[in-house]
Structure 1
C-alpha cells in the first residue's frame, strides 16, 4: 500500500539527493534538477503537454514540466541543475516524455538501504548512463553570479552586476542563457534547498521557511508544490535522513 507521505530514506550528498522508498503521486511541476527515476514495477510519467509513458527507469531533464504516479518502491535521484552530471545529461534534452525512458538501465533498488548501499546504487545509476559528453561551458560571469547567489537571501542587482563585470541587462541575459533560469527563479530554488537542509537538521517547516528566506510556511509550501508537485508535509516530514558526505 502506498502511503500519503514519502516515508523512505533520503540520502544527501552535496548537489545530489537520493530517495529510496514508496512514491506518492505528484501534480505537474518543474524544478532546477535532473530527476532520475528507477521503479522496478514501472511508473506512469507525464510531460507538460499531456504525453504519457510507463517506464521502469527514466531521466527527466531539469526545468521541464512533469508528473508521476504512485508506486510501492522506487529510487529517485535528484541532480541539482548546477551539478556537472545534470548539465551533461540535459545537453540534448527534449520536453517530450517519450525521450525520457531508460528501461535499458538494469539497477536493483534495495529495500532498506544503508549509506554504503546508497553510494553503490548511485554509482550503478551513473555507470548505466552515458555521462561521457561534458556539459556546455558556462560564461565566467555566470559562474561568479551563481557563487554570489548561493549565499544571498536578497538580490542586490548593483552588487551582482559589479561581481559579474557586466551591465545589469547583460548580466540577466548571460545568467538565463547559461543557467537556464532567471535569477529570481534561481534564488527561489536555492532558498528551497536551504529549507530542505534546515528540516533535515531538525527544524520545523515554519522555522525552516523563515531561516531560508521565505515569508512564512505558507510561502514555502506554495513554492515546494510548484517545484515538486507535493506539499512539504508529504515530502519532508516522514522520511529518514542520512548524509553521505
Structure 2
C-alpha cells in the first residue's frame, strides 16, 4: 500500500499511546506526557522558546511547551509512560541534547524503517505494542520502582476520572501534606496534578470513542462538562483539534487496549 493511502494509526494503551499520521499544520504542544517523535519522510523543525532545532527524531519531557513543524512528513508520535520509565531508557540512546530536548536516536534509520512498515501494513495492535517494547527496551530491563505514594495518587485519579477529587483528599489518602504531594507529584510525573487529570481524561475519552461511544458521550463520561470543554483541552495539550486527529480522509485505525 502506498504511504499516501495508508490510514492513520491510533493505538491507546494505559502505558503508552501511539499515533502515526502526516499533519497539515504545525503542532502546538503543551506536554502532559513525555513524547518520542520520529519523522518518517523528512525532518522535524522544533521551536522551543527562542531556539529552533532540525532533526529526524526527538525525545520531549513532560511539562514542556513548544511547536513542531512536520513539513509533509508522516510522523510517529509515542506518548510514553507517565512514571518516566520509557523516557529514562530512551534518554541515554539519544546522541544530542538542546535544552530539555534530546534528539537523534541511535539506530534512527531502523526506527524509521520499522514504523514505515507498520504504517503501510496497517499493523495490528499486538504488532505495534511488541515493536515498541523491542525498540524502547531492547534489554528487557525491569522498571525502577516509582514512589508508592505518587503511584497511589495516580491510581486514585484513574479510579474516579469523572470526579474532581480535591487535592486534600488525595494527600490524606497517600499520607502527605498538600504542599508535599503537590511538589512530589510534579517532581516525579513532570506536570501538576490538574494537568495530569486533564491528560488522563483525554485518554479515557479517546478510549470511549474507540469502543463505539459518541465523542460527546465519551467526553461527558470522562468528566468534561461538554464537548467544547473536551475540544479546548484536547487542542491545548495535543496541539490540534480532535477532528484534525480523528476525522482523517484516508480513514483511521483506532484501537483501545
TM-score (norm 1): 0.81
Contact 1:62/1:90 (CA < 8 Å) preserved in 2? no
- What CA distance in whole angstroms lies between the structure 1 residues aligned with 2:28 and 2:230? 17
SS in 1 for 2:41: strand
Kindly provide the CA deviation profile for residues 157-211 of structure 1, in whole angstroms up to 9, marking residues without a partner as x: 3432221112223222222222222221221111111111112112222222211
1:114 is the counterpart of 2:127: no
SS in 2 for 1:33: coil
1:209 to 206, 219, 226: 219
SS in 2 for 1:14: coil
- What CA distance in whole angstroms lies between the structure 2 residues aligned with 1:190 and 1:45? 28
Kindly provide the CA deviation profile for residues 132-174 of structure 1, in whole angstroms up to 9, marking residues without a partner as x: 6965x54332222111111232123343222111222322222
1:143 is the counterpart of 2:144: no
Which aligned runs of 4 or more in structure 1 are off by greater than 6 angstroms? 130-133
- What CA distance in whole angstroms lies between the structure 2 residues aligned with 1:148 and 1:120? 29
Counterparts of 1:58-73 in structure 2 under 5 Å? 58-70=58-70, 71-73=72-74
Aligned-pair distance for 1:95? Answer: 6.5
CA shift in 2, pair 1:103/1:28, >3 Å:
farther
- What CA distance in whole angstroms lies between the structure 2 residues aligned with 1:168 and 1:142? 13
Q: What residue ranges of structure 2 are gaps of 5+ in the alignment?
A: none
1:199 is the counterpart of 2:212: no
Counterparts of 1:85-164 in structure 2 under 5 Å? 85-86=86-87, 88-89=89-90, 96=99, 99-102=102-105, 104-106=107-109, 107=111, 108=113, 109-110=116-117, 111-115=120-124, 117-119=127-129, 121-126=131-136, 138-152=146-160, 153-164=163-174
Counterparts of 1:224-235 in structure 2 under 5 Å? 224-235=234-245
SS in 1 for 2:59: strand
CA shift in 2, pair 1:194/1:43, >3 Å:
same
TM-score (norm 2): 0.78
CA shift in 2, pair 1:237/1:184, >3 Å:
same
Q: What residue ranges of structure 1 are gaps of 5+ in the alignment?
A: none
